[in-house]
Chain A
Amino acid sequence: MLGLFIAQVLNGLLDGTYYLLIALGLSLIFSLGGIINLAHGAFFAIGAYLALLITPYVGYFGALVAVPLIVAGLGMVTERTLFTRFYRIDPLYSLLLTFGIAMVIEQGLRWVFGASPQSYNIPDILRGQVFLGDFIYSRYRIFLIAVAAVAVAGLWLLLNRTSFGRIVRAGVQSPEIVGALGISLRPYLSIVAGIGIGLAGLAGVLLSPIYTIHPAMGAEIITLAFVVVVIGGLGSFWGVIIAAVLVGLTKGVLVAIGLSSWSTAAIFLLMFVVLLLRPRGLLGERILRFE
C-alpha cells in the first residue's frame, strides 16, 4: 500500500509537467505585455491539429520540431496584428480580444476538421512501459517530461543568461526606463509572444498521443494552466514550476486516497488558500505597473 502511495506521489509530481509548458507561456506573455492570453489553449489545440496534419509527411519527431515553430510564427503574427493594439489600454479589452480569438479558433477547427475527435498514436519507438521497482511508468511520458524539461531549461537560460533575456526582464519591471535607454520593446514583445505561444504548440504535439485531439481541447486545459499561473505568481519562473508540481501532486494524492471526486475541487481550494495568504501567488514578483 505504501508502495502505491509513493508511486502516486511520484506520478503526481510528473503530472504537473503537462500544464507547465502552457502555464509558462501564459505567464511570460502577461508579465511583459500585460495581455492575459485566453487564446493560449486554442494555440495548444492548433499545435495538436498541425501535428495530426504533418505527421504523415515528416513523422512524429519532425512534427515535434516543426509544429512549435509554425505555432510560434502564428503567435508572432497575432501579436503584431492584434495584441499590439491593446498594450496601453484597460486589460479588460485584451481579455475580450483573446477570448474572442479562442472562440474563433475553436469554431474554425470544428469547421475544417469536424467536431469528431481525431485519432493520433504514440510513435512506435516510444511505446511501452518502464518499471522502477514497483513503480510503472509509460516510456512516452518519460520522453514527454524530458522534452518539457529541456524546453524549460532553455527558456530559463534565454531569460537569465543572454542579453535578450536581460532586456526582457528589465522590460517587465520598467518598460519606460528601457525605452529611455533607447531600446524599443516592440520586437521583444513579438518574440516573447512567439516563444510563449510556441510553447503551447509544443505542448499540443506532446500531449496529442495521450489525450484526445478535438476542437475544444484548448478550453479543456486552459483553466488549469491559469490556476497554475495564479498559484505560482504572475511573472515568476520558479513560482509557475512549483505551482505545476503542487497541482499535479494535489490531484495525484487525492485520487490515491480515494477522494478522486475532490481532485479538481482541491486544486481550486489550493488556489483560494494561496490567494488568501499571498495575493501575488507563491513567488509572485511585485510588478509596479500592475499593482
Chain B
Amino acid sequence: MTITNTTRRRFLRNGAAGLALGVAAPAYLRAQNAPLKIGHLTPTTGFLGPLGEYAQMGIKLAVEQLNANGGAGGRQIELVMEDSVNPQTASTKAERMFERDQVDMIIGEISSASCLTISQVAARYNKCFVNTGGNSDSLRGQDCNRYMFHVETQNSMYVNAEGEFFRSGGMVDGKKWYTLTADYAFGHDLLAAAKAFLDTNGGELVGEDLVPTDATDFSSYLLKIRQAQPDVVALNLAGTQITNFFKQYGEFGLDFTLGGFGFDTVSAWAAGAQNFRGTWPNVWNHLVPNDASQAFVRAFTDAYGKPPENQAWGDYNAGLIMAKAVAEAGDASGDALVAYLESPEAQFDLMKNRKGYFRPSDHQLIQEIFAITALPAGEVKNQWDIFTTSDPLPGSDEPLERLAHSVTGGTCSL
C-alpha cells in the first residue's frame, strides 16, 4: 500500500515537475502541490518538560502565522510534534518521522545528547535538523554535522557573555569564585568553559562542587559556600535545580553575587520575585525592547495567556528561518537547504537589533544575546517582569562573532 502510494505520488510529482519545467513556471509553483512537513521533537516530560512545552507553543504559533500568510514559499506547512523523551527514543522517533511521516526536516530538542542522536538520523536521510535548545559545545565541535544547524546559542557564547558582564563589573580579576555544577555532560561542559574563562582573566576558583542530578536540597552546599565567603557564586545547574537553589539561597540568607552560565527564564519565574536574584545570560527574553519582539510577545500572550519563554523564541524563530530557507532555496531537500543556509545571503531577522546568520564552519547561528538581572522584589509589578534585560551583547560597535569562540568541544570539520 505504501509502495503504491509513494509511486503514485512520485509519478504525480515528476509529472507536475515536468509540466512546470515545460511551461517555465517559477520554481515555487511546482512545490505548491505538496505541503511542507516539519517534524518537531522535544522533551515534554521529564526535567526538561517545562521548556519543551514552551518549545511546542513557539513552533505551533510560527506555523499558524506562516500558514495564514501563505506558508513557506507558497507551500502550506504541516507540523508533526512528538515528545522526544530521551536520546534513544529521540533517535527512534526521528527515524519514524523521516520514514513514515515523510517529514522534510526536524526542528527542536533541548537535550544535547538527544540532539546528537537526531542529527545522526537526519544525516542518514540527508535532511536538515535544526537544534533549538541543545547548548553543548561539542555539538558545534567534534560532533558537528553537515545537516545540523543551531539556533540555540552554545555554552561558550553564554560563558563569554556572562563573563564579560562580570569582568566589566570588576568581579573577575583577583576575585574568589565558587561554582556548583550539575554532574552530567551539560554541567561539565559549562564548568570547563568557565574554568578557561577564569584562568584567562585572573579569577580564583575557591570552591567547586559537583551536584548529582537528582539532588533537590542544597543546604549542605549552602553551608560550605557561606564558610568559603566567595565574591561570586556561579551556577552550572539546569532546570528545577536552579529554582530550588534560588529558593534555598534566600532561605539561608546568603547574599554573595549570584550568576551562572546557562539559564532559562522559566527558572526565574518558578523561583518568583522574592527568590530570583543575580545576573544570567539569555538568548532572548520577553522584555527585549524592539517592535518585533513586542509583537511576538503580544501574539504569544494572546494565544497562550502568558509571555513567551526564551525556549519559545528558539522554536518560533527556527520555524520562520526554515520557512524562509525553503522559500529561498525553492526546495526542501537537505542539500538545497544546507547550500542556502551556508550562503552569505542567508541573513535572518531574529527580533534583535542585528540580523543573524549561520556560521558556515560550524552552523552556529551567530546572533546577539542578552543578560537579565533580577529586579529587587520591591520594584516588581507582576509575576513575569521580575528582571531587566541588558542591551544586546556584543555591543553595537563590536563584531557579532566576538563572543562566539569556543575553548572546549573540539573542532568541527563539515
Q: Which residues of A contact B (CB under 8 A)?
A: 4, 7-8, 11-12, 15, 18, 110, 114-122, 127-129, 136-138, 140-141, 209-217, 220-221, 223, 251-252, 255-256, 258, 260-261, 263-265
Residues of B within 8 A of A129 (CB): 252-253
The smallest C-beta distance from B200 to any residue of chain A, in angstroms, reads 25
The smallest C-beta distance from B318 to any residue of chain A, in angstroms, reads 20
Q: Of residues 33 to 70 in B, which have CB atoms within 8 Å of A's CB atoms?
A: 44-47, 49-50, 52-54
Within 8 Å by CB of B46, from A128, A137, A209, A216, lies: A216
Binary contact readout B225-248 vs A (1 if CB under 8 angstroms, 0 otherwise): 011000000000000100110011
Q: Which residues of B contact A (CB under 8 A)?
A: 44-47, 49-50, 52-54, 183, 209-212, 214-217, 219-221, 223-224, 226-227, 240, 243-244, 247-248, 251-253, 266-267, 269-272, 274-275, 309, 383
Residues of B within 8 A of A211 (CB): 216-217, 244, 247
Name which residue of chain A comes closest to B276, CB basis: A119
Residues of B within 8 A of A115 (CB): 44-45, 49-50, 52-53
Q: Are A215 and B49 in contact (CB under 8 A)?
A: yes
Name which residue of chain B comes closest to A118, CB basis: B270
21 A-B pairs in the complex with CB atoms less than 8 angstroms apart: A8-B223, A8-B224, A116-B309, A117-B266, A119-B275, A119-B383, A121-B272, A122-B251, A138-B219, A138-B248, A141-B251, A209-B247, A210-B251, A214-B49, A214-B240, A216-B45, A217-B240, A255-B221, A256-B224, A260-B220, A263-B212
Q: Known contacts being A115-B44, A121-B274, A214-B240, is A8 close to B252, with CB within 8 Å?
A: no
Residues of A within 8 A of B220 (CB): 8, 11-12, 15, 251-252, 255-256, 260, 263
Residues of A within 8 A of B50 (CB): 114-117, 214
Q: Known contacts being A11-B220, A211-B244, is A264 close to B251, with CB within 8 Å?
A: no
Name which residue of chain B comes closest to A131, CB basis: B253
Give Cα A120–Cα B251 distance, bound, in whole angstroms: 13
Residues of A within 8 A of B275 (CB): 119, 121
Name which residue of chain A comes closest to B247, CB basis: A210
Residues of A within 8 A of B210 (CB): 260-261
Q: Known contacts being A115-B53, A116-B53, A216-B45, is A221 close to B216, with CB within 8 Å?
A: yes
Q: What are the 7 closest A-B residue pairs judged by CB atoms, nearest first?
A: A119-B272, A117-B270, A255-B220, A261-B210, A264-B212, A115-B53, A115-B49
Q: Are B216 and A116 in contact (CB under 8 A)?
A: no
Residues of A within 8 A of B183 (CB): 261
Residues of B within 8 A of A223 (CB): 214
Q: Can you add 11 more A-B contacts, CB < 8 Å, to A8-B224, A117-B266? A: A4-B223, A18-B217, A115-B53, A121-B272, A122-B251, A136-B253, A141-B219, A215-B49, A220-B216, A260-B221, A264-B215
Q: Known contacts being A116-B270, A121-B272, is A216 close to B247, with CB within 8 Å?
A: no
The smallest C-beta distance from B210 to any residue of chain A, in angstroms, reads 4
The smallest C-beta distance from B356 to any residue of chain A, in angstroms, reads 27
Q: Are A210 and B248 in contact (CB under 8 A)?
A: yes
Residues of B within 8 A of A4 (CB): 223-224, 227
Give Cα A210–Cα B245 distance, bound, in whole angstroms: 9
Name which residue of chain A comes closest to B210, CB basis: A261
